[in-house]
């Protein structure tokens, strides 16, 4: 207790007025210190003074005058993504489907964004839904399913123009999903299945056709090759026979030349004829033609034999 009294005794000596002044100074310092604002990169701060727009703060440290100034909104300059719920739309051919979109946008004018519209996100969602219905209303089902780029481009242009007074720049719009009714999906699946089966049948038929063509071409080439081989064989056989005949005739010519060079008389020639006749008789022929002068030839042969026995044959000169 004595210690607490010793600590409080200097404060009691100061007086109540001094304590109040110190408290006021401390409060002022706290308020002044809390009036400093640090604005980071990619952010803007909208400040009002006495209820009206005063200034847009950028990056750095700023002082907010107490009582007079008020920080209204902190705006991010980064590109933002908004994914809206699927919207029911009706096509030109009266087909109802669900389409959801994604919008990529950035705030380019923080002041216009703050004061341009009460709820910017709700405004973008509503205008994107109406724009989507207007675009899809001019397309039929098939065009809607195959024209996503067209839908994205039209929506981006219309939304960018509509949100420009609000300080919003629409950079990109993407159709995330298109969901037709169940009966339409079933019909589309059947159509795709029939188309696949059709393509499969066509491919199989083309494969069979190609196979038959290749088989026919192979057979035609085989026939040509066999004909060419038979032709070459016949040519070679003919050339061989011609060569054999030529060799035989050449040998016969050589034999005749040798007989002529040996000066053979009529008896020798007649003997050679009989030898040829004997060779003919040894063949497979069923009919033999005998010369009419066979008796003369035989008598000549006998005479030649007798002369040869008596040793009276003299070589010719």
Q: In 10 A of CB 307, how many CB atoms? A: 13
Where does the pLDDT of residue 189 fall: very low under 50, low under 70, confident under 90, or very high at 90 and above? Answer: confident
pLDDT tens column, 123-180: 898 998 899 999 988 888 888 888 888 889 999 999 999 999 999 999 999 888 888 8
What is d(CA 163, CA 170) in angstroms, rounded to the nearest whole number?
8
User: Does the pLDDT value for residue 303 go beyond 70?
Assistant: no
pLDDT tens column, 70-106: 888 899 999 999 888 888 888 888 888 888 889 999 9
Where does the pLDDT of residue 20 fall: very low under 50, low under 70, confident under 90, or very high at 90 and above? Answer: confident
**pLDDT, position 10:** 53
**pLDDT, position 314:** 43
The rounded mean pLDDT for the chain is 79
User: Does the pLDDT value for residue 22 go beyond 70?
Assistant: yes
Contact 37, 4 (CB under 8 A): no
**pLDDT, position 271:** 59
Dihedral (CA of 83, 84, 89, 92) sign: negative
In angstroms, what CA-CA distances link 199 with 18, 128, 145?
98, 40, 22
What is d(CA 82, CA 125) in angstroms, rounded to the nearest whole number?
9
User: Does the pLDDT value for residue 258 go beyond 60?
Assistant: yes
**pLDDT, position 312:** 43
What is d(CA 43, CA 223) in angstroms, rounded to the nearest whole number?
86
Bridge-partner residues for 74, per DSSP? 45
What is d(CA 192, CA 224) in angstroms, rounded to the nearest whole number?
47
Contact 135, 153 (CB under 8 A): no
Radius of gyration of the chain (CA): 62
Mean pLDDT of 102-128: 90
| Burial readout 178-205 (b: 16 or more C-beta within 10 A, e: otherwise) | bebeeeeeeeeeeeeeeeeeeeeeeeee
Contact 108, 66 (CB under 8 A): no
Higher pLDDT, 124 or 11: 124
What is d(CA 89, CA 27) in angstroms, rounded to the nearest whole number?
60
Mean pLDDT of 253-259: 72
From the list 157, 42, 46, the residue with the least C-alpha distance to 106 is 42
Q: What is the layout of strands, in order, in the sheet containing 52-57?
A: 52-57, 43-49, 69-76
**pLDDT, position 170:** 92
Bridge-partner residues for 106, per DSSP? 169
């Amino acid at each position: 207790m004595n210690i607490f009294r010793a600590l409080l005794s200097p404060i009691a000596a100061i007086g109540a007025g001094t304590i109040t002044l110190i408290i006021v100074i401390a409060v002022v310092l706290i308020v002044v210190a809390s009036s400093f604002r640090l604005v980071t990169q990619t952010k803007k701060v909208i400040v009002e003074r006495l209820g009206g727009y005063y200034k847009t703060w950028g990056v750095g440290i700023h002082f907010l005058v107490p009582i007079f100034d008020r920080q209204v909104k902190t705006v991010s300059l980064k590109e933002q993504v908004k994914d809206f719920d699927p919207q029911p739309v009706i096509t030109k051919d009266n087909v109802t489907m669900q389409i959801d979109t994604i919008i990529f946008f950035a705030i380019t004018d923080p002041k216009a964004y703050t004061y341009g519209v009460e709820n910017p996100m709700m405004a973008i969602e509503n205008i994107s839904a109406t724009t989507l219905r207007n675009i899809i209303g001019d397309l039929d089902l098939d065009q809607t399913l195959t024209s996503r780029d067209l839908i994205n481009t039209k929506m981006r242009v219309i939304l960018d123009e509509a949100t420009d007074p609000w300080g919003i720049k629409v950079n990109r719009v993407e159709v995330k999903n298109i969901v037709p009714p169940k009966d339409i999906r079933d019909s589309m699946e059947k159509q795709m299945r029939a188309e696949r089966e059709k393509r499969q049948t066509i491919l199989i038929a083309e494969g069979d056709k190609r196979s038959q063509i290749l088989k026919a071409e192979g057979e035609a080439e085989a026939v040509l090759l066999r004909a060419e081989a038979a032709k070459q064989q016949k040519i070679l056989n003919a050339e061989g026979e011609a060569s054999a005949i030529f060799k035989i005739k050449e040998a016969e010519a050589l034999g005749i030349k040798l007989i002529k060079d040996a000066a053979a008389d009529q008896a020798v020639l007649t003997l050679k004829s009989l030898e040829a006749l004997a060779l003919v008789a040894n063949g497979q022929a069923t009919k033999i033609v005998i010369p009419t002068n066979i008796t003369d030839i035989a008598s000549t042969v006998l005479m030649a034999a007798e002369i040869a026995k008596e040793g009276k044959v003299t070589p010719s000169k």
